[in-house]
Structure 1
C-alpha cells in the first residue's frame, strides 16, 4: 500500500507569487548583511523562475518544478512581462514611439514593446512608497509608464528608457504571462492555484 506522504500529489508542481522588495537579492542565500528571499519566504525547495535585479521590485514567481521554471523563464517561450517604470523627466511621444518600434542597444535591437503612460490617479492609488525613496530633483518632473516586453536582455528596460533620454528611477514588475502582482505588498507572497503557462 502506498504511503500517503509519498503520493504523487505530494510532488505536484507548486507556484508562488512574491512581491520582491527593493534591495533584496533574487536568491535564498547571501552575505550576512544581505536581504534575500529567505528573509520573507519560509517554504523549502522552491526556486525563482527567472530573476529580478536587486534594485528592481515587484513580481517574482517561484516554483518547485524544473519544467515549469524553464517555461516561465526561458526566452524561447516568450512570456510577456509588464513593468511599471518611473522615469526622470516628462516622457514625450517621440520616446514612446521609439520604445514601441524597438531600441538599438549594444547587444542588438529590442523587439517592439507595448507602452502607455500611467495616470497620476493610477500611480497614487496603486504604487507603494519605496524604502529608501528615490532621489528626486526639485526642478525635474518624473513620469510613470507601463512597458510590456517579450524578451529578457540584461537590464533591458533600464537601458531602453535611458536610450530615449529618460533614465529609469524605479522599476516594478507587475505581470508575467497571465500572472499578476495584484494587491501583494512588498515582502508578501501567495500560492497560485492555476499554473497553466
Structure 2
C-alpha cells in the first residue's frame, strides 16, 4: 500500500473497551464500535481498559515509529477527575515532578509537566447526561511528554488522590473535540500529520 492509500482515524474510546481488535480475554474490542474499519487498521499507542478519549487508528504502520521514536517528544493532554479537592501545594507537585513506582518497583521522579485545575470539564469533552458525580472532587488538565505505565493515575495517587476518570483530550494539535463516546472521525493524511506535528512523514 502506497503512502497516499493509507487511512487515518481518531475515536473517542469509551471505558471498558481495550485498544485492540483481538484479545484472548472476554473484553470489549475496537471492532465492537459501530464502524467498518479497513483491513490492516491498528491503534497507535494505547489507553487502558478504564481510560477514555482520543485514540488514533490507522492502516499506516509507520505512524507508531514516527510518533514515539522521534527526537521531539509529543504532548498528550488528559482530563482527569480525582476524588477530593486538590490543594495548590499538590498542584505544584504535579507540575514539578512526583515520585511514582515504575517497572521493577523502582522509584521514578516524573518530568515537570503542565497541570491545572479545570472549572468546567465540558469545555474539553462531551459529557454524558446523568453520570454520577463524586463529591468533593477536582477536574485536572495534565499535559505530559512521557508515558510510563499508568503514569497519570500513579501521579495523582502519589498525592493521595484517587483517579475516578481519565480522558485523553488531545495529542499535540489533534483534539477529541465534540466527538461522542464511541464515535469515529476520519482525517485526511496531510491534516493528520500536520496536527501531530510530524514533519518527516513523506520521507
TM over 0.5: yes
> Unaligned regions of 5+ residues in structure 2, if any?
103-107, 199-203
- In 2: Cα distance, 1:49 partner to 1:61 partner: 5
What per-residue deviation string (whole Å, max 9, x for no partner) do you get for residues 47-68 of structure 1?
1110000000000001111211
Partner of 2:201: none
Stretch moving more, 122-131 or 175-184: 122-131
- In 2: Cα distance, 1:147 partner to 1:155 partner: 13
Partner of 1:147: 142
Partner of 1:115: 115
Pick the aligned partner of 2:91 from 82, 93, 96. 96
Paired positions, count: 185
Kindly tell me: are residues 109 and 74 of structure 1, through their superposed partners in 2, closer, same or farther at Cα, counting changes over 3 Å?
Answer: same
Q: Is the Cα contact below 8 Å between 1:134 and 1:170 reproduced in 2?
A: no
- In 2: Cα distance, 1:23 partner to 1:134 partner: 17
With normalisation by structure 1, the TM-score equals: 0.84
Partner of 1:3: none
1:129 partnered with 2:123: no
The structure with the larger Rg is 1
- In 2: Cα distance, 1:90 partner to 1:158 partner: 16
Matches within 5 A, 1:7-156: 8=2, 12-30=5-23, 33-40=26-33, 41-43=35-37, 44-74=39-69, 77-107=72-102, 108-120=108-120, 122-123=121-122, 126-129=125-128, 136=134, 140-156=135-151
1:176 partnered with 2:171: yes
- In 2: Cα distance, 1:97 partner to 1:160 partner: 12
- In 2: Cα distance, 1:111 partner to 1:91 partner: 20
> Unaligned regions of 5+ residues in structure 1, if any?
1-5
